[in-house]
């Protein structure tokens, strides 16, 4: 595993460095005293683990987590005991270590990180093996794979670094892009109608000039995508 350390205090980074030395298969590839500099680095590089301080001047650890685009296991290291509940609202945060940290506690944390990385790897292989097979799609929800039948999907909406997948009964929030999921959908029933929407056009109830109605949801149609939608419809 490779990792980076993000903490504005030199002494704190030294402690984490010493703890990492106690793990045989953990390699520190970089250290940062600024969260902004760490983000710039991660825009170019990928790592397995990020050791992150919560309280940093100008840009907190939680701000950092929300801007992170590359998948990594995040271990928060802090003297603040009161933010653990908030921390576990983030799927990417694997553990919450309160200073001072013993080597024994650190080792347990690394075992947890290894298990999470292994589970994620297995999930990705399962998803890849199921690409374009059958009539369903697997999505990763809270580290579990949920199977959706293509026919149950009404539409998909882009929302930042996530997508909303709307079915008859549920709205699933998935860490993905519209382009990535579009490549996994059969184009005989799915169509991108807008830069932020893909629809199952077999579910259309009504069409107006610049929108379609699917169940009770009004979905926009861009001018450039409207001709393809009309071409696919069985018009009388």
pLDDT tens digits for 43-60? 888 899 999 998 888 777
Domain ranges of the chain: 2-127, 136-232
Count how many residues are written for the chain: 236
- The residues with which 53 forms a beta bridge, in sequence order, are 77
Q: Which one, of 85, 45, 88, lies nearest residue 68 by Cα?
A: 45
Peptide linkage before 100 cis (omega within 30 of 0): yes
Question: Could you tell me the two tokens for 51?
Answer: 């050791």
Are the C-beta atoms of 16 and 31 separated by less than 8 Å? Answer: no
pLDDT tens digits for 161-181? 899 999 988 999 998 889 889
What is the rounded (10 degree) CA torsion for 44, 50, 51, 54?
A: 80
Q: How far, in Å, are 30, 34, 37, 203 from residue 13 at the CA level?
A: 11, 12, 15, 55
Separation of CA 154 from chain center: 22
Stated pTM of the model: 0.55
* DSSP three-state, residue 66: helix
The answer to whether domain 2-127 has CATH 3.40.50.2300 is yes
Q: Which CATH architecture has domain 136-232?
A: Beta Barrel (2.40)
Mean pLDDT of residues grouped by 10 in the chain (236 residues)?
93 94 92 90 91 85 80 87 76 87 94 82 57 70 83 92 91 90 87 94 88 92 88 69
């Amino acid at each position: 595993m490779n990792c980076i350390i993000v903490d504005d205090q030199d002494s704190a980074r030294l402690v984490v460095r010493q703890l990492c030395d106690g793990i045989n298969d953990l390699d520190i590839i970089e250290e940062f005293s600024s969260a902004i500099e760490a983000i710039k680095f991660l825009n170019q590089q990928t790592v397995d683990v990020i050791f992150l301080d919560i309280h940093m001047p100008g840009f907190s650890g939680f701000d950092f987590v929300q801007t992170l685009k590359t998948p990594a296991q995040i271990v928060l290291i802090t003297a603040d005991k009161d933010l653990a509940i908030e921390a576990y609202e983030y799927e990417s945060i694997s553990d919450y270590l309160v200073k001072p940290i013993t080597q024994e506690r650190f080792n347990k944390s690394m075992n947890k990180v290894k298990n999470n990385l292994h589970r994620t790897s297995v999930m990705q292989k399962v998803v890849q093996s199921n690409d374009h097979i059958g009539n369903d799609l697997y999505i990763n929800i809270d580290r579990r794979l949920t199977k959706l039948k293509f026919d149950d999907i009404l539409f998909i909406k882009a929302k930042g670094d996530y997508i909303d997948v709307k079915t008859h009964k549920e709205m699933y929030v998935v860490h993905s892009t519209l382009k990535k999921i579009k490549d996994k959908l059969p184009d005989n029933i799915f169509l991108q109608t807008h830069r932020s929407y893909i629809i199952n056009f077999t579910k259309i109830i009504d069409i107006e000039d610049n929108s379609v109605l699917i169940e009770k949801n009004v979905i926009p149609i861009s001018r450039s995508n409207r001709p393809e939608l009309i071409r696919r419809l069985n018009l009388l």
